[in-house]
Chains A and B, each alone.
Chain A
Amino acid sequence: MKKLMLGNEAVARGLYEAGVKLVSSYPGTPSTEVTEAAAKYEEIYAEWAPNEKVALEVALGAAIGGGRSFCGMKHVGLNVAADPLFITAYTGVNGGMVIGVADDPGMHSSQNEQDSRHYARAAKLPIVEPSDSGECLEFTKLAYEYSEKFDTPFILRLNTRVSHSQSLVELSERAEKDVKPYEKSVAKHVMMPANARGRHVVVEDRLKELSAFACDCPFNKVVDNNTKLGIITSGPSYTYALEVFGDSASYLKLGLVYPFADELIKDFAAKHERVIVIEELDPFIEEHCKALGLNVEGKNLLPLLGEFSQELIAEKLLDKSAEFTALDEAIPVRPPVLCPGCPHRGIFYIFKKLGLYVSGDIGCYTLGAAAPLSAMDTTLCMGASISALHGYNKIRGEENKSVAVIGDSTFMHSGMTGLVNITYNKGNSTVVIVDNSITGMTGHQQNPCTGFTLKGEPVHGIMLENIARAAGVADEHIRIVDPNNLKEVEKVLKEELNSGTPSVIICRKPCALLKYVKHEPALKVDTDKCIGCKACMKIGCPCISVVNGKAKIDATLCVGCGLCPQMCPKDAIKGGM
């Protein structure tokens, strides 16, 4: 049966067909739907871990235990999981293991552009890269087979375009795999120096075997069309190149990117007068070709930054530019904004009003950095809001004028260790946790605080206030507020900033997009009372604009959250229509 499937869904289907037993992941665009789709198969145990390091360790434990396992993350997640990643090469697996990592060239939804292939080389692990949904399914299944054969995890490198494009895939049945027997092996699984020295030998030997395998494996493919132009490529770049050159070029499409198929590459290069490497981000394949002494082109013609497309390749390699029509005037940009009724809006207005230094973090609330709220000084990496504020305050001593702001999922991911650092090291900083009871930015995943698992089972949700208490914050400095009550938020914030002791303020109100959140009827501006002062517009709600000198609320968008009436000096905004 053929089905139109998202690349991520096809990976999940591959997990199902390969008989995978366990999936543990942390969400991150563009990888999230792999795990969401895997969770829909009853045969697969699937969970959201609090962060990627935990997820990878869970998957490794399952593989050592003899079951096929998977863990998925976005590119930056692999930075968090790098410690166990490197160890997996030494321990090897028992049941097959695949680590799915999705890169985001062009940064559609990321804080940096990062090329995960470097991790494969650094950790000495094989990495495979599909080009479309069909290959997502096929490569996933093959990766499990060879993971067990070579006793190593495989990295499956995805990419925004592959993850989030649908194409046709051929479905098969699940091949159920029994859990393999577990044999205790201290030399293989206890990584202390004496054992690890022995395992490093295994790692290097395995890499050599994999490199030979790469020259004759089902992942790599040569399409021989002529001897003039040869293109070495992988992943989505292959589809762009195909669209531009069709059969006027030959292709070496690397599905198993590392370890390199040296003989295959040399052979292909020798057969073509001109060889160009087409790869997004870093010159990973190109540099290796050059190290092999081959005369190839690549980044001398194509950019290091951003996403490729057939337009870009035609322009850079054939000097062809697109023909198109455009209007003469500038079209205003449409950046993302906090949703109407978003519970994060009010606190950022208060931060700005009080002129605070805001050590920010990653989530929907990062949008508090944008105009008109403009209330964020830094956004680094997940969890860094709290730890970096501590460093800032140790240098500047501005505890009464600075806060960290972090979401519930991000706090559980890697914020709580920063809080422990503050209390332990005699810091006095104020941490605001914006608890909207969900992992919002990545499309609403459950987390340890929400009371539900990935599979939708109810559990005892962890209370953030209990973690704050356990971390050593005094009870009277753990405050819980309704973020839509602006007066209260301002009062509590001022008290804690001046308290001279570590404090945690939990802004608790669920995300406006959650199904169980009931919306109120749209509010309306009384145009007789409105003086056109634009005070209501300071909170940056996309429903409010000024028409003929008076505020106007778009009734199709407003969810009646009640925030804007608190801004109006003339009491002109009222409920009901």
Chain B
Amino acid sequence: MGKNIMIVGVGGQGSLLASRILGNAVMLEGYDVKVSEVHGMSQRGGSVVTYVKFGESVASPVICKGEADIIMSFELLEAARWLPYLKKDGTIITNTQQINPMPVITGAAEYPADLVEKMRAKGVNVIAADALSIAREAGSEKAVNVALIGLMSHALGFDRDTLVKAIKMSVPEKFLELNMKAFELGEAGSAQ
């Protein structure tokens, strides 16, 4: 078993922790892994993507159209933007938070309505939740990363213990309790 996972969002939203947790979980499971990030210009509020690929042996670090098993998105429009990268039968896990891009702000374009419904109408598996509220409930907006990992846990198919261990490896001790709570709330959210 191997999987291709994309983590997408808006530059500055801080998806680094999510990719670190995934990377650690995959190593614990003993797979070969490659993680590809984008630094630089797009970190200033642009559309950003991280690829996490694992399996027996991984050659290319990038994921192309129709290759992702899971797309985890920090923002709704970004989920729709990267949809073409999803495999048939793949799953999108998305935060329902909306951040307007500049063309929407200046009035040159509109933020498309009902994106979750439109993706589902195309036959795509979509798990959508307000991860920001989950994180707030857990104690801090910063826990969005781990809330989304919780939402993804079923689709990922790892041992729960592996994920918990990977979270422990990746977050500072003093934020562990808060993050574990966000993880559990996310997990519960995805089961619905």
B41 touches A332 (CB 8 A): no
User: In the complex where A324-B85, A325-B83, A325-B84 touch, is A108 in contact with B102 (Cβ < 8 A)?
Assistant: no
B106 touches A309 (CB 8 A): no
B42 touches A108 (CB 8 A): yes
Which of A32, A108, A339, A372 meets B106, CB within 8 Å?
Answer: A372
Q: A439 to nearest B CB, angstroms?
A: 12
Residue of A nearest to B113 (CB): A329
A537 touches B62 (CB 8 A): no
Stretch at the interface among B30-38, B153-161, B182-190: B30-38
B40 touches A109 (CB 8 A): yes
A540 touches B84 (CB 8 A): no
Among B114-172, those with CB < 8 Å from A are 115, 118-119, 122-124, 132, 141
Q: Count chain B CB atoms within 10 A of each CB in A540, A545, A557 and give the residue with the most.
A: A545
Which of A165, A310, A336, A339 meets B35, CB within 8 Å?
Answer: A165
User: In the complex where A309-B64, A545-B105 touch, is A325 in contact with B86 (Cβ < 8 A)?
Assistant: yes
A239 touches B61 (CB 8 A): yes
Among A300-333, those with CB < 8 Å from B are 309-311, 322-333
A542 touches B84 (CB 8 A): no
Q: A135 to nearest B CB, angstroms?
A: 13
A-facing mask of B71-115, CB < 8 A → 1, else 0? 000000110110111101000000000011111111111111001
Q: Does B191 contact A (CB under 8 A)?
A: no
A165 touches B61 (CB 8 A): yes
Q: A322 — which chain B residues lie within 8 A by C-beta?
A: 64-67
Q: B45 — which chain A residues lie within 8 A by C-beta?
A: 334, 336-339, 542
B106 touches A371 (CB 8 A): yes
Which of B12, B24, B37, B84 meets A165, CB within 8 Å?
Answer: B37
**For the complex, would chain A's binding face be called helix, strand, loop or mixed by DSSP majority?**
loop
User: In the complex where A334-B46, A443-B43 touch, is A325 in contact with B36 (Cβ < 8 A)?
Assistant: no
Instruction: For the complex, give the distance between the alpha carbons of A554 and B100 in Å.
Output: 10
Instruction: For the complex, give the distance between the alpha carbons of A337 and B101 in Å.
Output: 9
Among A356-407, those with CB < 8 Å from B are 364, 367, 370-372
Q: B118 — which chain A residues lie within 8 A by C-beta?
A: 327-329
Instruction: For the complex, give the distance between the alpha carbons of A364 and B43 in Å.
Output: 11
| Chain B interface extent, by class | 35 or more
A544 touches B41 (CB 8 A): no
Q: A103 — which chain B residues lie within 8 A by C-beta?
A: none
Q: B17 to nearest A CB, angstroms?
A: 14
A166 touches B83 (CB 8 A): no
Which of A239, A327, A546 meets B59, CB within 8 Å?
Answer: A239
Q: A100 to nearest B CB, angstroms?
A: 16
Q: A328 — which chain B residues lie within 8 A by C-beta?
A: 118
Residue of B nearest to A440 (CB): B44
Instruction: For the complex, give the distance between the alpha carbons of A165 and B59 in Å.
Output: 12
A161 touches B62 (CB 8 A): yes
Which of B10, B41, B88 meets A108, CB within 8 Å?
Answer: B41
Q: Does A112 contact B (CB under 8 A)?
A: no
Instruction: For the complex, give the distance between the alpha carbons of A339 and B11 in Å.
Output: 10
Q: A336 — which chain B residues lie within 8 A by C-beta?
A: 11, 41-46
Q: B122 — which chain A residues lie within 8 A by C-beta?
A: 325, 327
Residue of B nearest to A367 (CB): B44
A29 touches B60 (CB 8 A): no
User: In the complex where A29-B41, A332-B111, A337-B45 touch, is A4 in contact with B85 (Cβ < 8 A)?
Assistant: no
B38 touches A164 (CB 8 A): yes
Q: B147 to nearest A CB, angstroms?
A: 15
Q: A487 to nearest B CB, angstroms?
A: 25
Instruction: For the complex, give the distance between the alpha carbons of A540 and B101 in Å.
Output: 11
A165 touches B83 (CB 8 A): no
Residue of B nearest to A29 (CB): B40
B-facing mask of A154-173, CB < 8 A → 1, else 0? 00000001001111100000
A240 touches B77 (CB 8 A): no
Instruction: For the complex, give the distance between the alpha carbons of A240 and B100 in Å.
Output: 35
A166 touches B34 (CB 8 A): yes
Q: Count chain B CB atoms within 10 A of each CB in A30, A324, A372, A557 and give the residue with the most.
A: A324
Q: Count chain B CB atoms within 10 A of each CB in A326, A537, A554 and give the residue with the most.
A: A326
Residue of B nearest to A8 (CB): B39
B38 touches A311 (CB 8 A): no
B39 touches A443 (CB 8 A): yes
Instruction: For the complex, give the distance between the alpha carbons of A537 and B132 in Å.
Output: 26
Q: B131 to nearest A CB, angstroms?
A: 13
Q: B107 to nearest A CB, angstroms?
A: 8
Residue of B nearest to A3 (CB): B27
B102 touches A326 (CB 8 A): no
Instruction: For the complex, give the distance between the alpha carbons of A546 and B41 in Å.
Output: 27
B102 touches A542 (CB 8 A): yes
Which of B40, B60, B141 meets A310, CB within 8 Å?
Answer: B60
A108 touches B84 (CB 8 A): no
B102 touches A371 (CB 8 A): yes
Instruction: For the complex, give the distance between the alpha carbons of A477 and B74 in Å.
Output: 48
Instruction: For the complex, give the distance between the alpha carbons of A134 and B97 in Å.
Output: 38
Q: Does A556 contact B (CB under 8 A)?
A: yes
B34 touches A132 (CB 8 A): yes
B105 touches A164 (CB 8 A): no
Q: Count chain B CB atoms within 10 A of each CB in A32, A108, A165 and give the residue with the most.
A: A165
Among B8-61, those with CB < 8 Å from A are 10-12, 23-24, 27, 32-47, 58-61
Residue of A nearest to B118 (CB): A327
User: In the complex where A309-B60, A324-B85 touch, is A4 in contact with B38 (Cβ < 8 A)?
Assistant: no
User: In the complex where A108-B42, A542-B102 touch, is A332 in contact with B109 (Cβ < 8 A)?
Assistant: yes
Q: Which residues of A contact B (CB under 8 A)?
A: 4, 6, 29-30, 32-33, 108-109, 132, 161, 164-168, 236, 239-240, 242-243, 309-311, 322-339, 364, 367, 370-372, 441-443, 537, 540, 542, 544-546, 554, 556-557
| 14 sample A-B contacts, Cβ–Cβ < 8 Å, listed by A number | A109-B42, A132-B34, A168-B27, A236-B61, A242-B60, A322-B65, A325-B88, A326-B83, A332-B101, A333-B101, A335-B101, A372-B102, A443-B43, A542-B99
Q: A240-B60, A337-B44 are in contact. List 15 more A-B contacts (CB 8 A).
A: A132-B34, A161-B36, A161-B62, A166-B37, A167-B34, A242-B60, A322-B66, A328-B118, A334-B10, A335-B102, A336-B44, A338-B45, A339-B45, A367-B44, A556-B132
Question: 3 tightest CB-CB pairs across the interface, nearest first?
Answer: A109-B40, A311-B64, A29-B40
Q: Which residues of B contact A (CB under 8 A)?
A: 10-12, 23-24, 27, 32-47, 58-62, 64-67, 77-78, 80-81, 83-86, 88, 99-112, 115, 118-119, 122-124, 132, 141
